[in-house]
Structure 1
Amino acid sequence: MYIHLWSVQVVFMFSERFIRYIKFEKRYSPHTVLAYQSDLDQFFNFLNNPDKKVPAPEAVITHPSQITHHHIRNWMVEMMGDQILARSINRKIATLRKYFKFMLQEGVIEINPASKITTPKIPKNLPVIVEDTRLTAMLDENIVFSKDFAGLRDKLVMEMLFGTGMRLSELLGVKETDINAYEGTVKVLGKRNKERIIPVNNELKLLLSEYLELKKNQNFGNNSLILIVTDKGADAYSKLIYLIVQKYLSYISTQNKKSPHVLRHTFATSLLNRGADLNAIKELLGHANLSATQIYTHNSVERLKSIYKQAHPKA
């Protein structure tokens, strides 16, 4: 029996050109560049898989202009079949849109095949938070943190994420020189390489001073200027921060989601619940527009409903 094996040879030089563009001209963060590269690799691997019937087995793709919206839709169908979340699918399709838009600008293609794609709707989920009073009590009591360098480092990670609302990628990029002890601020490099200044509370200032002194006395060989480092002095990495956050949130929460972003959500919700202006929260979080910040108002409304049900005689 004759079996037609459809193989696709995508010219990877075009994706490499795109990656150089977002890395050096658009100056996207290393984390974002890596995500874009991963999305493109997954799409091209899908096209190169001979088991996929997309959409014309006899056609061998040797140029981006041969990719159609049918290829992209079939990829979406496969991802949905693999139970990949709609949010993740939309991000991957957004990568393709940006990639083909660049190809269009460069004159490599004449039609953007991603322009016809309709992405799945994302269910609106409230940001996952932890109870800030329990979190604050754990940090203030200081019982769960060991008395060595690792323990102080772990506490600083938790205090920085909850006390400033910065993203994981931003925390990993903070250098010692970004800390202004006199002004009581920390400078972070956010998305699209946009810098912003975040105030730090007095307790966090003291913790930073204590940590920096202890870090200097560790006599690490590389003398990294990155603020958060491993037990051996190497620059911290994403997995380490995740493990730290999961470990300490497990002391105060039984919810499944225990990520650095939960602390960012808790930071924003706590400010809003205590009367902070939404525009001020937007600036602290580094959001590009107010709509991204408004999601935290839903948590506040839910909190008010809960209080009403508990306290009002007619509830």
Structure 2
Amino acid sequence: MSRSDRSTRAMHQALPPALREAVDDFAEHLSRVRNRSTHTVRAYVTDLVSLFDHAVRMGCVDLAELDLSVLRSWLARQRTTGAARTSLARRAASARAFCAWAHRAGLLSADVGAALASPRAHRELPSVLRADQAAALVDGPTRRVTPTDNPPAADLPNTHGAPTNPARTGRAAGATSGEAAVPLRDRVLLELLYATGVRVSEACGLDVGDVDHGRRVIRVLGKGGRERSVPYGAPAQRALNDWLRRGRPAMVGTHSGDALLLGARGGRLNPTTARQIVGAYAEAAGLPRTSPHGLRHSAATHLLEGGADLRAVQELLGHSSLASTQIYTHVSVERLRAAYRQAHPRA
């Protein structure tokens, strides 16, 4: 447990029972009704505990005493202690969400957070790789892989059914050693991240049965439990073929289950390890510091620059709001401006 988590828990325990119960009930609502992730629920709880700790210091010991002045005072204190605009915007959103829920639940006589304003969060343009840089990154593992004939997708097992577990049947024919399987795993990870633009947690959460080789799509479980199908191209298919035929059977173990991507000990690949893999290959290729999210940014930008529809990119990325996708149009415009300044004689 981190120091901030311990501090939040201590403040939570020190709250009056009514406020502590309200925080716990809201957290349960977020988790069970809204189907929010553990990380999202933790962020909301941290913000609310901070708000109620401030309210108690102001003499507000009952939820019914919570009003707009307390909310504004809390945000003002956050700003004076150096909180960034993005943090202030998130905390204000947490307060508004809680107040709306508490009003619906009958805990507040009015939705006191509805009038709470917050600073517009400054959104920096994401850094993206050029197409040639992304290709160099994704091709990095191929320099460690012995070229082989890739079997057609039709020759692969039917992954819509229950996949055969090589741990029970023995190593598949043509399987390589565990050490040699690592670049095959790295290659398919990089190919999928760039080809589909999925989040690293979504890529690591894929099962073998989530891959439809015939239609070249993967079934992804995104934020809020929303499921979507995302297509991928021929290079990713070749990487998948190699990994499933030669790589995964060499790394599979008793704890592998149906996980598509495996770690060194045979369990499901951890997102932290996946980030390290991407960073290591970017460094080896002499590229700027890159993360899986950077590959996601790059995939979205290259799709739009290639003429893809904004709504289609929204669906591919799994954004619930089009506003989240529109930032990539700004990236494309910035690139256009840079090219104009460099090339036009009267720029």
Alpha carbons of 1:210 and 1:84: their partners in 2 closer, same or farther (altered >3 Å)? farther
**1:294 aligns to what SS in structure 2?**
helix
Within the alignment, does 1:242 sit opposite 2:249 as a pair? no
Corresponding residue for 2:127? 128
- Counterpart pick for 1:218 among 248, 251, 273: 251
**Could you tell me how far apart the structure 1 residues matched to 2:97 and 2:186 are?**
38
Q: Which moved more, 1:99-108 or 1:63-72?
A: 63-72
Q: 2:45 aligns with which of 40, 54, 63?
A: 40
Aligned partner of 1:3 in structure 2 is: none
Describe the SS at the equivalent of 1:36.
helix
2:33 to 13, 25, 29: 25
> Contact 1:161 / 1:264 at 8 angstroms: preserved in 2?
yes
What's the TM-score, normalizing by structure 2?
0.76
Partner of 2:97: 98
- Equivalences for residues 1-315 of structure 1 within 5 A: 8-11=15-18, 12-28=20-36, 30=37, 33-45=38-50, 47-48=52-53, 54=55, 57=58, 59=59, 61=61, 63-140=62-139, 142=141, 148-213=180-245, 214-252=247-285, 255=288, 258-315=290-347
Change (3 A) 1:151 1:104: same
Alpha-carbon distance in structure 2 between the residues aligned to 1:125 and 1:253: 24
1:134 is displaced (CA, Å) by: 1.5
* Cα displacement (A) at 1:181: 0.9
Instruction: Write the distance in 2 (CA, Å) between the matches of 1:38 and 1:302.
Output: 33
CA distance 1:154–1:73, shift in 2 (3 Å):
farther
Q: Could you say what secondary structure the match of 2:139 adopts?
A: helix
- 1-structure distance, mates of 2:74, 2:125: 29
Gaps of 5+ in 1: 1-6
Give the C-alpha shift of residue 65 in structure 1.
2.5
Q: Secondary structure at the match of 1:235?
A: coil
Please state how far the C-alpha of 1:203 moved relative to its aligned partner.
1.3
One-letter amino acid of the structure 2 residue matched with residue 19 of structure 1: A
| Pairwise CA distance, 1:279 | 2.4
AA aligned to 2:28 is: R
What is the TM-score of this pair, normalised by structure 1? 0.83
1:117 Cα shift?
1.8
Distance 1:110 1:259, change over 3 A: farther
* Deviates most, 86-95 or 145-154: 145-154
The structure-2 alpha-carbon separation of the partners of 1:144 and 1:100, relative to structure 1 and needing over 3 Å to count, comes to farther
Q: Which runs of structure 1 show a deviation greater than 4 angstroms over 4 or more consecutive aligned residues?
A: 54-57, 143-147, 252-256
Q: Secondary structure at the match of 2:218?
A: strand
Give the AA of the match of 2:16: Q
Cα 1:80–1:249 change in 2 (3 A) is: farther
SS in 2 for 1:250: helix
Unaligned segments of structure 2, at least 5 residues: 1-13, 146-178
Q: How many residues align?
A: 299
Partner SS for 2:96: helix
Contact 1:135 1:252 in 2 (8 A): no
Deviation at 1:195, TM superposition (A): 1.5
CA shift, 1:182, in A, is: 1.2
The CA deviation at 1:233 is 2.1
* Cα distance change on mapping 1:69 and 1:8 into 2, 3 Å: farther
Distance change (3 Å), C-alpha of 1:232 and 1:163: same
After superposition, the C-alpha distances for 1:3-43 in whole angstroms (9 at most, x for unaligned) are xxxx7425333222222222222223x3xx43223332343
Q: SS where residue 113 of structure 1 aligns? A: coil
